[in-house]
């Protein structure tokens, strides 16, 4: 397993070691001991989530606040996404900055998004099965979000605006500046 720290402190791209032969492939999708050693912190994942979406579906940018903040380890089982993490830690030197990583079933990359980040993705393939582990339970009262097309963040989602499929809830999220971070 190879871990690459992004420009956003604590946010890592994980590239697994894949063992392939004429029968197919094998790899560890998660090993707590190795993972924690490589990122230098303890993470106790308590919930796994899965979503299925069509091309152009954009989910995000979401986060949870306070005691219900969540770290996430995300990956794609089938298809491809552009995965985005935004640093919303007000005391961070990269506050308001984001990274975008293409995660596919073929490249098998994962992204570790620590607490204090907004997260979202857009589907680049016809369909996608997206999986993620969370280190805290979902709490509706603690959820927050930032509108996907925020001008301050200026995220290039790699899909034309007229092809994006946005939920009613996500379409009315506040801007970065007005968000209750």
Domain membership of residue 165 (yes or no) is yes
> What is the torsional sign of CA 131, 135, 138, 144?
negative
Q: Tokens representing 71? A: 């770290």
- pLDDT tens for the chain, 181 residues: list them: 899 999 999 999 999 999 999 999 999 999 999 999 999 999 999 999 999 999 999 999 999 999 999 999 999 999 999 999 999 999 999 999 999 999 999 999 999 999 999 999 999 999 999 999 999 999 999 999 999 999 999 999 999 999 999 999 999 999 999 877 7
Domain membership of residue 180 (yes or no) is no
> Is 138 designated active site?
no
What is the pLDDT, as a whole number, of residue 181?
76
For residue 147, CA distances in Å to 61, 117, 174 come to 6, 14, 5
Domains of the chain: total: 1
What is the pLDDT, as a whole number, of residue 179?
73
What CATH number did the domain enclosing 138 receive?
Answer: 2.60.120.10
Domain membership of residue 83 (yes or no) is yes
> Is 62 designated active site?
yes
Domain membership of residue 91 (yes or no) is yes
- Which structural domain range is residue 60 located in? 44-171
Let me know: does 131 contact 74? Beta carbons within 8 Å: yes
Q: Tokens representing 161? A: 């605006």
Q: Tokens representing 9? A: 């402190």
What is the pLDDT, as a whole number, of residue 180?
75
Q: Catalytic pick from 12, 98, 119, 132?
A: 132
Domain membership of residue 35 (yes or no) is no
Domain membership of residue 26 (yes or no) is no
Q: Catalytic pick from 62, 98, 119, 148?
A: 62
CA distance 158 to 51: 20
């Amino acid at each position: 397993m190879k871990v690459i720290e992004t420009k956003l402190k604590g946010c890592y791209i994980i590239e697994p070691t894949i063992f392939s032969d004429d029968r197919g492939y094998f790899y560890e999708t998660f090993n707590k001991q190795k993972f924690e050693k490589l990122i230098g912190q303890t993470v106790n994942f308590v919930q796994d989530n899965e979503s299925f979406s069509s091309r152009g579906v954009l989910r995000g940018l979401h986060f949870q606040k306070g005691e219900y903040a969540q770290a996430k380890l995300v990956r794609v089982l089938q298809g491809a996404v552009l995965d985005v993490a935004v640093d919303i830690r007000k005391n961070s030197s990269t506050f308001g900055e984001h990274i975008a990583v293409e995660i596919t079933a073929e490249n098998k990359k994962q992204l570790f998004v620590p607490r204090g980040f907004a997260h979202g993705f857009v589907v680049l393939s016809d369909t996608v099965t997206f999986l993620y582990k969370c280190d805290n339970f979902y709490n509706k009262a603690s959820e927050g979000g930032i509108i996907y097309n925020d001008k301050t963040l200026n995220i290039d989602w790699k899909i034309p605006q007229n092809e994006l499929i946005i939920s009613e809830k996500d379409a009315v999220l506040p801007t970065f500046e007005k968000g209750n971070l």
